[in-house]
């Protein structure tokens, strides 16, 4: 009977997956697996009435949702306090020993992904959710069902909640980034961001393609199953069909063993197939857990030891100078590609001449690289002992690398003063369509550079005539009918943007996102703005002399006014549409502090993004701070946030939350 065969095939395939994923011990060739899978697929197509909810064929995704529903966790999903060195490990153990006699601990790799809660009813996966703020998360069931290492049916028909980490393996991460580069999309900074971005896809087919994984590590209600220790929880999870870190998890009986186990995991880290960012310690006996309880925020019975930022050695191949939108020249270190904290990097900014001299970087030097604030690569230092004798000290260039105009120096920076410099034009075009300006989807920086060099784009006005070159564009590598259409639609849509986006997009010197917002709110229309005076400008709150002078210079230039007139004729909105309020629970009612340099926006722009979503930005970290946003080279606010256990976001997390 067909139904029996379907049941049998599901059983065979699930058993094979269990052996492959959970036991790491494949028993079937890929060919055999594919044959069973195809047979099941064709039977299900012919007899949809027999298709089962827990069929492995459901993993290809297909369900598209329009938003993620909110779900409340039965028990809050907490995380542990972070610690950063061995002294803190010793202090943790001493603290525990004040309450518990002879504690033992599980020592587990700290998976670098995002935590997820899976709920099974009668052995079948019925709901998966993100942690969210710990109390309320988002329903990501359709996407989690595509994860091959998540059992859709357990080996026991029980009701249970299981928590663990949704993550992307290093190999899937590399693949995803190769794909993104090919499509002109920005690359993921690390596997954690890649996993977080993928699990929040509304189209589960996309999530399925990203090849995520799940590692189970926690049962919120172990007592329901007669379990007495965390290590028994982990064994129970494995028996139920979950992937656990059974080869790496250990039990330590004293602090010496904990530290040995931490060293051992740190050593294995770079060879593991997934990214880990530390080690999680949990008191093993669950009755001890109960005695220790919680502080107001976190459990006392566990802690997360975070590895220090990984530093990797490489060789400096070249110092490449780039020209920004304002003509600013930036030296960039180009080095032999290396993996740092899970991603492949090959360049880092060297900011300006002073920085290069301070670091004394020379081509051919062995340098160490790390990721600042988890995301942006930076040169830590030169290994002077490995310097070659014939190395040549850094020398700043004196002419523009694009147009050969002699550079001028202002404060610490060098600028190309040529307003017609192609590099400045290209950067200006990139800025115009960027997310905070006109927000056109589908343009990578390279495409804009290519279009500029091919003559399709000269000024921002030309974006709106690209539709006349549809056929030519289609001949270009990487473009198809659909991607061209999406791009043109997005350009057309940008005409409706409110005035502040256009004001920001024009690239007027010193007019950042926040200033553009202030100007749009004040003038309401483009006409009023271009007819303003210096006196009127400086009378506006937060508009200083420097900004006012720059605006006057801009509007006194006939070419700029002509450009605005052309944009008006093309049908771009020239009016302020009122203050936007964007609904976003991650920001609403929360107090933020910013520290360090952000790569994609200024701090003012970041503050504006927070405020438009109902958040508040303050200057110093206190117990009332909810979130600290950390950029490169953060100040003492970062340390204070860590000490107080305040949630820390890096720039990528911030962008994702936006």
User: Which residues are marked as active site?
Assistant: 110
C-alpha span between 493 and 37 (Å, rounded): 44
C-beta of 288 vs 609, nearer to ligand IVH: 288
CB of 115 to ligand IVH, least distance (A): 3
Give the distance between the most distant pair of CA atoms in the chain: 87
Contacts of 597 (CB under 8 A, 6+ apart): 631, 632, 633
Residues with Cβ within 8 Å of residue 338, at least 6 apart in sequence: 312, 313, 314, 344, 345, 346, 369
Residue 580 burial (C-beta neighbours within 10 Å; 0-12, 13-18, 19+): exposed
Q: Would you state the structure tokens that stand for residue 52, as one six-digit string? A: 């089962």
CB of 217 to ligand IVH, least distance (A): 4
Query: CB-wise, 280 or 519, nearer to ligand IVH?
Result: 280
Task: Give the shortest CB-274-to-ligand IVH separation in angstroms.
Answer: 10
By CB atoms closer than 10 A (0-12, 13-18, 19+), residue 541 is exposed
**Residue 85 CB, nearest approach to ligand IVH (Å):** 17
Single out the residue of 93, 108, 213, 365 in contact with ligand IVH (rule: CB under 6 A).
Answer: 108
Q: Least distance (Å) from ligand IVH to the CB of residue 86? A: 19
Q: From the CB of 642, what's the least distance to ligand IVH, in Å?
A: 13
How many chain residues interact with ligand IVH (CB under 6 A)? 13
What's the closest the beta carbon of residue 144 comes to ligand IVH, in angstroms?
A: 15
**Is residue 280 part of the contact set for ligand IVH (CB under 6 A)?**
yes
Q: Which of the ranges 74-82, 168-176, 619-627, 631-639 carries the binding residues for ligand IVH, by CB under 6 A?
A: 74-82
Instruction: Give the integer Cα–Cα distance in Å for 478 and 187.
Output: 16
Q: How far is the CB of 649 from ligand IVH (least distance, A)?
A: 14
Query: If binding is defined by CB under 6 A, does position 80 make contact with ligand IVH?
Result: yes
Contacting range for ligand IVH; rule: CB under 6 A; set: 72-80, 390-398, 427-435, 487-495: 72-80
Interacting span for ligand IVH (CB under 6 A) from 20-28, 108-116, 563-571, 643-651: 108-116
H/E segment holding residue 281: strand 276-283
Q: Which is nearer to ligand IVH, 110 or 351 (CB)?
A: 110
Per DSSP, helices labelled H in 18-129 are 30-46, 86-99
3-state secondary structure 161-203: EEEEEEEECHHHHHHHHHHHHHCCCCCCCCHHHHHHHHHCCCE
Closest CA to 60 of 203, 184, 173, 163: 203
Say if residues 424 and 432 touch (Cβ distance below 8 Å): no
**CA–CA distances in Å: residue 629 to residues 595, 599, 639:** 6, 12, 12
Provide the minimum distance between the beta carbon of 218 and ligand IVH in the complex, in angstroms, as a whole number.
Answer: 5
Least distance in angstroms from the C-beta of 523 to ligand IVH: 46
b/e map 455-465, b = 16+ CB within 10 Å? ebbeebbbbbe
**Contact string (CB under 6 A) for ligand IVH, positions 302-331, x = contact:** --x---------------------------
> Where does this chain touch ligand IVH (CB under 6 A) — which range of 110-118, 346-354, 474-482, 592-600?
110-118
Residue 122's closest CA among 151, 160, 150?
A: 160
Check binding of 523 to ligand IVH (CB under 6 A): no
Identify which range of 20-28, 77-85, 411-419, 563-571 contacts ligand IVH by CB under 6 A.
77-85
Nearer to ligand IVH, 244 or 595 (CB): 244
Cβ distance to ligand IVH smaller for residue 81 or 257: 81
Please tell me whether residue 491 binds ligand IVH under the rule CB under 6 A.
no
Closest to ligand IVH by CB, 44 or 165: 165
What are the residues facing 406 on neighbouring strands? 399
- Residues between 285 and 304 that touch ligand IVH (CB under 6 A): 299, 304
The verdict on 79 binding ligand IVH (CB under 6 A) reads yes
Q: Among 435, 431, 469, which residue's Cα sits nearest to residue 448?
A: 431
Does residue 110 belong to the site contacting ligand IVH (CB under 6 A)? yes
Q: Which is nearer to ligand IVH, 105 or 335 (CB)?
A: 105
Rg (C-alpha) for the chain, rounded Å, is 28
> CB–CB of 269/248 below 8 Å?
no
Nearer to ligand IVH, 167 or 576 (CB): 167
Instruction: Tell which one of 104, 115, 436, 625 touches ligand IVH (CB under 6 A).
Output: 115
Contact 311, 348 (CB under 8 A): no
Phi, psi angles (nearest 5°) of residue 292: -80, -40
Binding region for ligand IVH (CB under 6 A) out of 36-44, 78-86, 489-497, 544-552? 78-86
Question: In this structure, is the dihedral angle defined by the CA atoms of residues 575, 528, 441 and 631, taken in order, positive or negative?
Answer: negative
Q: Mask 354-393, x = binds ligand IVH (CB under 6 A)?
A: ----------------------------------------
91 or 202: whose CB is closer to ligand IVH? Answer: 91
Distances (CA, A) of 521 to 103, 203, 549: 61, 37, 19
The rounded distance, in Å, linking the Cα atoms of 264 and 511 is 52
The binding track of 138-177 with respect to ligand IVH, each residue x by CB under 6 A or -, is ---------------------------x------------
CA separation for the pair 424, 411 (Å, rounded): 20
Give the 3-state secondary structure of residue 144: helix
Strands (E), 590-644: 591-595, 616-618, 627-630
Sole window of 105-113, 344-352, 387-395, 600-608 interacting with ligand IVH (rule: CB under 6 A)? 105-113
Q: Which of 18, 218, 576, 592 binds ligand IVH (CB under 6 A)?
A: 218
Interface with ligand IVH includes 242 (CB under 6 A)?
no
In 3D space, the residue among 312, 356, 354 whose CA is nearest the CA of residue 333 turns out to be 356
Window 590 to 609, contacts with ligand IVH (CB under 6 A): none
Q: Which is nearer to ligand IVH, 279 or 564 (CB)?
A: 279
Nearest approach, Cβ of 230 to ligand IVH (angstroms)?
9
According to DSSP, the β-strands at 647-650 and 627-630 are parallel
The answer to whether residue 511 forms part of the interface with ligand IVH (CB under 6 A) is: no
Residues engaged in binding ligand IVH (CB under 6 A)? 78-80, 108, 110-111, 115, 165, 217-218, 280, 299, 304
């Amino acid at each position: 009977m067909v139904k029996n065969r379907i049941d049998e095939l599901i059983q065979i395939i699930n058993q094979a997956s269990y052996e492959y994923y959970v036991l790491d011990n494949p028993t079937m060739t890929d060919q055999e697996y594919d044959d069973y899978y195809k047979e099941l697929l064709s039977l299900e197509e012919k007899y949809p009435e027999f298709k089962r909810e827990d069929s492995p064929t459901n993993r290809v995704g297909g369900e598209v949702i329009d938003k993620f529903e909110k779900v409340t966790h039965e028990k809050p999903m907490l995380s542990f306090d972070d610690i950063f060195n061995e002294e803190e490990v010793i202090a943790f153990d001493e603290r525990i020993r004040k309450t518990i006699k002879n504690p033992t601990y599980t020592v587990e790799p700290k998976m670098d992904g995002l935590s997820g809660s899976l709920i099974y009813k009668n052995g079948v996966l019925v709901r998966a959710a993100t942690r969210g703020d710990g109390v309320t998360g988002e329903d990501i069931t359709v996407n989690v069902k595509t994860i091959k290492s998540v059992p859709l049916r357990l080996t026991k028909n029980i009701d249970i909640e299981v928590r663990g980490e949704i993550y992307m393996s290093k190999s899937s991460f590399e693949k995803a980034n190769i794909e993104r580069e090919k499509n002109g999309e920005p690359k993921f900074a690390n596997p954690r961001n890649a996993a977080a971005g993928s699990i929040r896809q509304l189209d589960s087919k996309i999530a399925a393609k990203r090849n995520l994984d799940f590692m189970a590590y926690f049962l919120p209600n172990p007592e329901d199953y007669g379990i007495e220790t965390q290590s028994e929880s982990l064994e129970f999870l494995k028996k139920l069909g979950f992937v656990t870190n059974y080869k790496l998890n250990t039990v330590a009986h004293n602090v010496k063993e904990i530290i040995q186990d931490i060293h051992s995991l740190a050593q294995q880290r770079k060879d593991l197939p997934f990214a880990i960012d530390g080690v999680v310690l949990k008191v093993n006996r669950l009755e001890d857990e109960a005695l220790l309880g919680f502080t107001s925020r976190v459990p006392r019975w566990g802690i997360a030891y975070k590895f220090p930022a990984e530093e990797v050695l490489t060789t400096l191949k070249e110092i490449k100078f780039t020209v920004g939108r304002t003509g600013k020249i930036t030296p960039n270190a180009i080095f032999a590609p290396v993996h740092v904290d899970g991603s492949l990097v090959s360049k880092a900014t060297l900011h300006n001449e002073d920085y290069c001299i301070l670091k004394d970087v020379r081509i051919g030097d062995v340098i160490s690289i790390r990721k600042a604030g988890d995301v942006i690569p930076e040169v830590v230092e030169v290994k002077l002992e490995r310097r070659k004798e014939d190395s040549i000290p850094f020398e700043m260039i004196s002419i523009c690398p694009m147009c050969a105009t002699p550079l001028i120096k202002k404060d610490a920076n060098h600028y190309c003063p040529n307003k017609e410099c192609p590099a400045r034009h290209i950067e200006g075009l990139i800025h115009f369509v960027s997310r905070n300006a006109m927000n056109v989807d589908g343009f990578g920086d390279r495409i804009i550079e290519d279009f500029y060099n091919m003559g399709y784009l000269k000024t921002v006005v030309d974006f709106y005539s690209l539709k006349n070159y549809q056929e030519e564009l289609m001949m270009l590598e990487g473009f198809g009918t659909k991607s061209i259409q999406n791009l043109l639609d997005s350009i057309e849509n940008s005409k409706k943007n409110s005035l502040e986006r256009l004001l920001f997009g024009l690239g007027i010197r010193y007019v950042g996102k926040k200033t553009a917002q202030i100007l749009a709110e004040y003038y309401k229309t483009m006409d009023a703005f271009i007819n303003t005076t210096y006196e009127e400008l400086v009378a506006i709150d937060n508009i200083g002399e420097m900004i006012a002078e720059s605006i006057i210079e801009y509007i006194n230039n006939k070419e700029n006014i002509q450009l605005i007139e052309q944009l008006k004729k093309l049908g771009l909105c020239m009016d302020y549409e009122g203050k936007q309020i964007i609904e976003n629970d991650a920001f609403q009612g929360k107090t933020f502090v910013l520290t360090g340099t952000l790569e994609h926006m200024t701090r003012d722009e970041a503050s504006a993004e927070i405020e438009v979503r109902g958040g508040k930005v303050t200057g110093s970290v206190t117990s009332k701070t909810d979130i600290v946003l950390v950029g490169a080279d953060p100040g003492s606010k970062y340390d204070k946030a860590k000490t107080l256990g305040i949630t820390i976001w890096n720039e990528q997390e911030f962008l994702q939350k936006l």
